[in-house]
A and B are shown apart, each in its own frame.
Chain A
Amino acid sequence: MEAIGAHDVSKEYGSETALDRVELTVEQGETFGFLGPNGAGKSTFINVLLDFVKPSSGTAEIFGNDCQENGVAARERVGVLPEGYSVFDRLTGKQHIEYAIRSKEVEADPIEILDRVGIRDAAEQKATEYSKGMAQRLVLGMALVGEPDLLLLDEPSTGLDPNGAAEMRDILREENERGATIFFSSHILEQVEAVCDRVGILQDGELVAVDTIEGLRESLGGGTKLVITVDALKNGTMETIRSVGGVETALARDDATVEVTCTNDAKMDVVVELHQAGVDVVNFRTEEASLEDMFIEYTGSAHR
């Protein structure tokens, strides 16, 4: 069964296109990472699923319920950590969880949930006094209430320190093992790479790629990354490398190191070309392309 189905979802703000005919299916039980630079439209897409934003055209469904026509049914089995929320005035952390329990009409122990997200000690404290990271944990706790079938999380690690982000990933893994589908957005790649079965990359409102991490690697010309150390980079050396057939990207890491992503066949061509251009190759090694390289490749958001 489809946990999320988006069909030709577009959203325009005046002449700005925030989402451009996004077509996406997330199957039940998957952990899906929704990747893209800030402002790519990730939140807009999630907000369409939550009916905070009405799409200009297209339809979105959660477990077969239309998110706009039948929003309550769509959100019934979903735990949400939205973007741009704030906690309620005058309510303690525990009261927030209790509110979620009553709203979802389930039985649960608020303290147990606060313990799981690591803020048990702050249970009786007003949530407005929480740090951003604690608020993020609290709202994750609200999302976990009632063992939802789908977790919809918009930049869940915002405000968390590396330790907290790792704890968050552990919780996501546990939830996925329990059977929940996880859909979360991020602009931080390593988090997505660490837990996701599949990723989608959104760029300027367009879904430019949806694949497994391995699939993305393959689609990137075998995903070979070449790290070449030369005696010195000259003017035009980068252009020389880029002109070799099969080279996808070439980045100067410093004034003597070049990173090249290319097809397997092109590796030697690069070295030969450099030699012919009069550049001495001191050392070279190959690495498997990381998602970071792919991400840069897809979104063109590198600092070149």
Chain B
Amino acid sequence: MTWAVIAKQDARTTVGARSVKVLLGLLAFVVLLFAYIYPVVGGDTISTARFPGFVSGALATLVPLVALLLGYNAVAGERESGAVLLSLSLPHSRRDLVLGKYVSRTGLVAGTLLVSLVGAGALVVYPFGELDVVPFLAFVLFSLSFTAVWSGLGVAVSLAASTKRRALVAGFALFFLFVVVWDAVTGALQAGLTAVELIDGSLPDPLRFVVGLEPGRAFGRLVTGFVDPTDSIEGAWYLSKWVSLVVLELWVVGPMALAFLWFDGRDLS
């Protein structure tokens, strides 16, 4: 188990790149900016339980972008250049390599997000807000899981693609599908089915479930269900917050596991 050596090495060189500093700085800046604005526009009750509902939409866009951009090059670039052969000439297994890269890239984004959210919590509480510890802690955990999902997707495309460029294209395809157009497609589906009078304005539960499988939706439902006191979710059992929790955790492990199995069986040169 030498993944820690790889993780440490990777984190050190990754964070040395200016583009990475910019991305992580952007993430921290946006989270803190939202925390700074929130007490001004947040209405009567300012609390750390309500703040997540305010910031989660921004996170649902920004976290995928930052995590993908950090993750897509985790392995693909070194595989393309041949540097990966130097690592694997040493007594590292491919599993250690992938785990180390994943821990490093996820850790950088998750660590930045954690620190920013703690800072944001402080900005919300002082001077006029309320501190609701449990919902806010839950929100932090969900945010970190959501980060792990997108970082995992980034590393997964990095494992599946044989070149850096292909990994970047695949990463953007995922981002485009899940983050950019998912809502529009859902809306179009809803409008279409309503127009042909198959449904009456809102999607039936099974379809809502399918649409809700997207990681950002699952993350949003967790915030709605567990954290935000002003909101709740309704519908069949498979639309519950607990199922959303399972869906999000499956996104954490599923793509990485599949991509690793693919990578592990590949010839590298």
Q: In the complex the two chains form, is A52's CB within 8 Å of B269's CB?
A: yes
* CB of A191 within 8 Å of the partner chain: no
**Residue of chain B at shortest CB distance from A50:** B89
Q: CA–CA, A250 to B90, complex, Å? A: 47
Q: CA–CA, A43 to B21, complex, Å? A: 39
- A-side contacts of B88, CB under 8 Å: 50-52
The 7 closest A-B pairs by CB, nearest first: A80-B89, A103-B90, A86-B81, A86-B82, A52-B268, A85-B85, A85-B82
Q: In the complex the two chains form, is B91's CB within 8 Å of A76's CB?
A: yes
From B17, B81, B82, B91, contact of A72 by CB (8 A)? B91
Q: CA–CA, A82 to B84, complex, Å? A: 11
- A-side contacts of B267, CB under 8 Å: 47, 52-54
- B-side contacts of A42, CB under 8 Å: none
Total A-B residue pairs with C-beta atoms closer than 8 Å? 80
Q: Give the interface segment out of A87-95, A167-175, A195-203, A238-246.
A: A87-95
Name 5 A/B residue pairs within 8 A (Cβ), A-sorted.
A47-B269, A75-B90, A86-B83, A87-B83, A103-B91
From A43, A85, A105, contact of B83 by CB (8 A)? A85
Q: In the complex the two chains form, is B90's CB within 8 Å of A53's CB?
A: no
Q: CA–CA, A104 to B265, complex, Å? A: 24
Q: In the complex the two chains form, is A53's CB within 8 Å of B268's CB?
A: yes
* CB of B9 within 8 Å of the partner chain: yes
* CB of B86 within 8 Å of the partner chain: yes
Contacts A75-B91, A91-B13, A103-B90; is A84 near B83 (CB within 8 Å)? no
- A-side contacts of B16, CB under 8 Å: 90
* CB of A102 within 8 Å of the partner chain: yes
Shortest CB-to-CB span from B52 to chain A, Å, is 37
Contacts A50-B89, A90-B13, A103-B90; is A83 near B269 (CB within 8 Å)? yes
- A-side contacts of B91, CB under 8 Å: 72, 75-76, 103-104
Q: CA–CA, A105 to B87, complex, Å? A: 14
* CB of B185 within 8 Å of the partner chain: no
Q: In the complex the two chains form, is A103's CB within 8 Å of B2's CB?
A: yes
Shortest CB-to-CB span from B226 to chain A, Å, is 41
**Residue of chain A at shortest CB distance from B87:** A103
Which of A81, A89, A91, A96: most chain B CB closer than 10 A? A89
Q: CA–CA, A289 to B2, complex, Å? A: 50
Contacts A52-B267, A90-B17; is A82 near B85 (CB within 8 Å)? yes
Q: In the complex the two chains form, is A84's CB within 8 Å of B5's CB?
A: no
- A-side contacts of B269, CB under 8 Å: 43, 47, 52-53, 83-84
Shortest CB-to-CB span from B143 to chain A, Å, is 30
Q: In the complex the two chains form, is A89's CB within 8 Å of B93's CB?
A: no
Could you mark each residue 67-82 of chain A with 1 if its beta carbon is under 8 Å from any beta carbon of chain B, else 0? 0000110011000111
Q: Which residues of A contact B (CB under 8 A)?
A: 43, 47, 50-54, 71-72, 75-76, 80-91, 96, 99-100, 102-105, 139, 142-143
* CB of B92 within 8 Å of the partner chain: yes
Q: How many residues of B contact A (CB 8 A)?
A: 25
Q: In the complex the two chains form, is A142's CB within 8 Å of B86's CB?
A: yes
Q: In the complex the two chains form, is A88's CB within 8 Å of B13's CB?
A: yes
Shortest CB-to-CB span from A158 to chain B, Å, is 13
Q: In the complex the two chains form, is B92's CB within 8 Å of A103's CB?
A: yes
Q: In the complex the two chains form, is A75's CB within 8 Å of B89's CB?
A: yes
Q: Which B residues between 191 and 244 are near A, CB-CB below 8 angstroms?
A: none
- B-side contacts of A87, CB under 8 Å: 83, 86
Q: In the complex the two chains form, is B268's CB within 8 Å of A139's CB?
A: no
- A-side contacts of B2, CB under 8 Å: 103, 105
Q: CA–CA, A43 to B17, complex, Å? A: 34
Shortest CB-to-CB span from B80 to chain A, Å, is 9
Contacts A54-B265, A72-B91, A100-B90; is A88 near B17 (CB within 8 Å)? no
Q: CA–CA, A196 to B222, complex, Å? A: 67
Shortest CB-to-CB span from A235 to chain B, Å, is 48
Which of B9, B87, B90: most chain A CB closer than 10 A? B90
Q: CA–CA, A47 to B91, complex, Å? A: 15
Q: CA–CA, A181 to B137, complex, Å? A: 57
**Residue of chain A at shortest CB distance from B80:** A86
- A-side contacts of B85, CB under 8 Å: 50, 52, 82, 84-85
- B-side contacts of A104, CB under 8 Å: 90-91
Q: In the complex the two chains form, is A99's CB within 8 Å of B89's CB?
A: no
**Residue of chain A at shortest CB distance from B10:** A88
Shortest CB-to-CB span from A140 to chain B, Å, is 12
